[in-house]
Structure 1
Amino acid sequence: MTAKVAVIYYSATGTVHALAQAVAEGAAAAGAAVRLRRVAELAPDGAIDANPLWRRHADAAAEVGEAAVEDLAWADAFAFGTPTRFGAPAAQLKQFIDQTAGLWQEGGLADKPVTAFTSAHHRHGGTEATILSLANVFYHWGALIVPPGFTDPAVHAAGGNPYGASAVTGPGGDGAGPAALDAARHQGR
């Protein structure tokens, strides 16, 4: 039986989108059927238009299917990605997660492997806190949290976050560069 993996993410400027694609590639390379889905945008057009990178990515990512709770019901495993916002997941991903109560009450999220990945502007911008914040949700679901740990040289090359692949977009970081993408592919496997 082929494993089914839902890669659900939010990305404003494209960094987490690139990580999500790499996680999906890793899962597919391991033989999984993959659904790559973005969550709905909540920000008003005025805020998006004020940042050219945000607008460019919003337009480019429109081709990616929008996440629905049904994607989680379909999947045997999940990977969630979000930019770090003050050490926490973006509101867009949290809003999607808040819609899962019915599936959770039915037991549809229990005993399924789950992992998370993120990005931040600064090296110490809260990536680990963001992933740990998502872990609180996964505990309530009864999901099986699967971090990459230090199980592959790719994790070390990307800065060594054992909680999940993460990218730094600001000073000293290379965003969704080769090292971060390799770590995300490893996490997807």
Structure 2
Amino acid sequence: MKVRILVLYYSRHGSTLALARQIARGINAVPQCEAIMRTVPELDASPGNPADPYITLDDLKTCDALAMGSPVWFGNMAAPLKHFWDQTSSLWISGDLIDKPGCVFTSSSSLHGGQESTLLSMQLPLLHHGMLLAGIPYSEPELHTTSDGGTPYGASHHSQKTAPLSQNEQLLAQKLGSRLANLAIRLSASAESQIQS
């Protein structure tokens, strides 16, 4: 049985999407795991051509884990992503996300543009839903050497006017995806053994 890991993101200029794809790559590298890419619509309802389908509450309810990403908007997650979470009360009441692992990622156009505060802001709804948060441990050597993005709170990218992801940013995003996938497998196996016993 496949462990389904949702990669939910909002991306305006493509940098957050690039990170999402690297996280999905890390997830898909773990046997038994499948990354499911989803995005959120713009708030102004302008017609768009998203790279991935829009998320539904059922996607969130049925996933085994979640990676969530947003660009930095004034040190916070982007409004379209926040708007989606504001509509998840039914899942909060039913407890559908309790004990599922989650992680976060972000991108900013300036080096000190609020990456860490944005990562922390994205963790808040996950904590309210009872999710278990995963970051990037300092056992990852790239976290010590990166001069671009990458934090213990989650993967990040310093876009520098739409510059591509650096090698360190790609590796850290992939490792975060793999870490989330392995956590999801262990938690799914633990839940399965409790059901059988």
TM-score (norm 1): 0.85
Q: SS at 1:16's partner residue?
A: helix
Aligned match for 2:112, one of 107, 113, 124: 124
Q: d(CA) in 2 for partners of 1:5 and 1:63?
A: 18
Q: d(CA) in 1 for partners of 2:174 and 2:156?
A: 12
Higher mean displacement: 149-158 or 120-129: 149-158
Q: SS at 2:42's partner residue?
A: coil
Aligned match for 1:151, one of 126, 136, 139: 139
Q: d(CA) in 1 for partners of 2:143 and 2:93?
A: 35
Q: d(CA) in 2 for partners of 1:115 and 1:81?
A: 9
Q: d(CA) in 2 for partners of 1:69 and 1:149?
A: 30
Cross-structure match for 1:7? 7
TM-score (norm 2): 0.81
Over the matched positions of the two proteins, sequence identity in percent amounts to 37
Q: SS at 1:89's partner residue?
A: coil
Q: d(CA) in 2 for partners of 1:23 and 1:175?
A: 15
Amino acid at match of 1:150: Y
Aligned match for 1:166, one of 119, 133, 156: 156
Alpha-carbon shift at residue 78 of structure 1 (Å): 0.2
Structure 1: runs of 5 or more not aligned: 49-57
Q: d(CA) in 2 for partners of 1:96 and 1:151?
A: 34
Question: Aligned residue pairs: how many?
Answer: 175
Matched-pair contact (CA < 8 Å) for 2:75–2:115: yes
Q: d(CA) in 2 for partners of 1:155 and 1:36?
A: 25
Structure 1 position 98 matched with structure 2 position 86: yes
Cross-structure match for 2:192? none
Alpha-carbon shift at residue 149 of structure 1 (Å): 2.5
Higher mean displacement: 9-18 or 68-77: 68-77
Q: d(CA) in 1 for partners of 2:43 and 2:167?
A: 30
Where does 1:66-145 land on structure 2 (aligned, <5 Å)?
66-145=54-133
User: How well do the aligned residues superpose, as a CA RMSD in angstroms?
Assistant: 2.0
Cross-structure match for 1:19? 19
Q: d(CA) in 2 for partners of 1:121 and 1:183?
A: 18
Q: Deviations over 1:49-91 (max 9, x none)?
A: xxxxxxxxx64xx241111111111111000000010110000
Higher mean displacement: 144-153 or 161-170: 144-153
Q: d(CA) in 2 for partners of 1:77 and 1:95?
A: 20
Alpha-carbon shift at residue 160 of structure 1 (Å): 4.3
Q: Deviations over 1:105-130 (max 9, x none)?
A: 10101100000000011111111001
Cross-structure match for 2:176? 187
Matched-pair contact (CA < 8 Å) for 1:84–1:126: yes
Amino acid at match of 2:41: A
